[in-house]
Amino acid sequence: MTETLSSDEPQAGIPEYPMRRAQGCPFDPPPTLRDEQEKGPLTKVRLWDGSRPWLVTRYAEQRALLADPRVSADITRPGYPSQSSSRSNSIGFILMDDPEHARLRRMVTAPFTIKRTEALRPRVQQIVDDLIDDMLAGPNPVDLVESFALPVPSLVICDLLGVPYADHDFFQDNSKTIINRDSTDEQRAGALGRLAEYLDRLVGEKLDRPSEDLLSQLAARVGAGELPRGEAARIGVLLLIAGHETTANMIALGTLALLQHPEQLTALRETQDPKLVAGAVEELLRYLHITHSGRRRVALEDIEIAGQVIRAGDGLILPNDIGNRDPRAFSDPDRLDIHRDARHHVAFGFGVHQCLGQPLARMELQVVYSTLYRRMPTLRLAGALEDIPFKHDGSVYGVYELPVAW
């Protein structure tokens, strides 16, 4: 006789997380996630350390739990389903709970309001047009990631934060190491340390010579004694990484997805309707869902949901990539359709941690998707889809390179 196992924790058949995507389906979440979603809204997975947090795969339950104040994002709490053995919070307020999270987040929200973001649109249009001019005047084929997808958001976030763009090799390399799932804890800590040191130096410079950027505003708070200088630097690191890695991957992977769906690309290229462009951005955010490492949380109290009881201290993994493919929330979810209403997607997460920079990301992507294909109407993949290196190893999904010709 084997020992009786409690019914809500079956030992056999618990899949490991993270999971792998299927060969030849680079735009779809791992098939195991779909299988788990069909089994029920809450199942269990096994992590690298043998722990077995809940896996929440359906849209409604993901939203309910991410918005539940009994659910914590604090990585230092026991039970938090950590991605590695490092449990220190080196990345700032995204891994903290309210009220401290809200206090820090509100210090940096001003440049990301809808109004301020809209005011930046002409500047972003200029950046996009200039980079396209350069590509058209340069070699053909070209790597779209290096020549366009990465520079657009890097230039924008550098302007906004007050980081010199000339240092882009330095901060892009370090941020690459931080978000690579295969980096060791030591490598990641080293890269974070270098970026924190760099941002700390910039904050110091802004204390002496303030200008009209976000780091200067944080420096002013440091000067006023409202914010420790180290925390200001951590916030700078967070916004610098989040500000370019995500949008860059949406630009390159979005272009690849559209090239694989030529009728959608044509509709987008030929429209004059900003509403269709905005809708296409929402659909590509839903369909591609690049932050594919699963939102991670820990329960602070017992929570009853979907006929199960999540116990206080249980870890939760909420992969919004499969939530965005839940047929209960989106009809025919595996089809890319820029004409659908996808605005209720959870690509930016849900709850109080929902992406702070989403208005900026939306605007940047609207400018890019409405300009790039119109100005380069013969844009095509230079090479085979099978040869494209995908970021299976990144906590942000995308492509390392995208060779294109026109």
Partner 1 sequence: MKVTVDEDKCCGAGQCVLLAPEVFDQRDDDGIVVLLDAEPREPLQASVREAADVCPAAAIRLSTP
Q: Which is nearer to partner 1, 256 or 356 (CB)?
A: 356
* Contact window for partner 1 (CB under 8 A) among 113-121, 312-320, 326-334, 386-394: 113-121
352 is a contact residue toward partner 1 (CB under 8 A): yes
We find the least distance from the C-beta atom of residue 339 to partner 1, in angstroms, to be 18
**Pair 149, 253: CB distance under 8 Å:** no
- What is d(CA 44, CA 14) in angstroms, rounded to the nearest whole number? 6
The least CB distance from residue 220 to partner 1, in Å, is 12
Residue 363 contacts residue 118 (beta carbons within 8 Å): yes
Q: Decide if residue 344 touches partner 1 (CB under 8 A).
A: yes
SS3 content of the chain, % helix, strand, coil (to 5): 50, 10, 40
Q: Min. distance of Cβ 153 from partner 1 in angstroms?
A: 18
Question: Which residues, 54 to 93, sit near partner 1 by CB under 8 A?
Answer: 66-67
Answer whether 80's CB lies under 8 Å from 74's CB.
Answer: yes
Q: Which stretch binds partner 1 (CB under 8 A): 110-118, 129-137, 181-189, 251-259?
A: 110-118
Between 18 and 294, whose beta carbon lies closer to partner 1? 294
User: Which residue from 399, 223, 163, 395 is spatially nearest to 292, judged by alpha carbons?
Assistant: 395
Query: Rounded to the nearest whole angstrom, what is the least distance from the CB of residue 66 to partner 1 in the complex?
Result: 8
Written as six digits, the tokens of 266 are 């044509």
Among 349, 364, 379, 394, binds partner 1 (CB under 8 A): 349
Q: Can you tell me which of 76, 84, 88, 109 binds partner 1, judged by CB under 8 A?
A: 109
Residue 369 CB, nearest approach to partner 1 (Å):
17
Q: Which of 73, 46, 41, 49 is nearest to 298 (CA)?
A: 73
Alpha helices in 180-223 (DSSP H): 185-208, 214-223
Q: Are 158 and 212 in contact (CB under 8 A)?
A: no
The residue with tokens 């791992």 is: 30
Query: Is the CB of 20 or the CB of 106 nearer to partner 1?
Result: 106
Amino acid letter for position 162: G
Site for partner 1 (CB under 8 A): which residue of 132, 252, 356, 399? 356
- Does 348 bind partner 1 (CB under 8 A)? Our answer is yes
Give CA–CA dist 81/381, Å, rounded.
39
Region of 141-149, 242-250, 341-349, 385-393 interacting with partner 1 (CB under 8 A): 341-349
Is position 343 an interface residue for partner 1 (rule: CB under 8 A)? yes
Instruction: Return d(Cα 229, Cα 379) in angstroms, integer.
Output: 46
Segment 216 to 235, residues that bind partner 1, using CB under 8 A: none
The three-class DSSP label of residue 219 is: helix
Nearest CB to partner 1, comparing residues 131 and 219: 219
Residue with smaller CB distance to partner 1, 87 or 343 = 343
Reading across the β-sheet that carries 54-56, which strands appear in turn?
A: 42-44, 54-56, 315-318, 295-299, 71-72
Query: Among 7-15, 295-303, 325-333, 340-348, which window interacts with partner 1 (CB under 8 A)?
Result: 340-348
Contact 269, 379 (CB under 8 A): no
315-318 and 71-72: which strand pairing? unpaired
By CB under 8 A, residue 275 contacts partner 1: no
Q: Cα separation of 105 and 209, whole Å?
A: 24
User: Rounded to 5 degrees, what are φ and ψ at 137?
Assistant: -90, -10
C-beta closer to partner 1: residue 361 or 404? 361
| Shortest Å, Cβ 75 to partner 1 | 19
By CB under 8 A, is residue 102 in contact with partner 1? yes
| Interface residues toward partner 1, by CB under 8 A | 66-67, 102, 105-107, 109-110, 112-115, 117, 343-344, 348-356, 358-359, 362
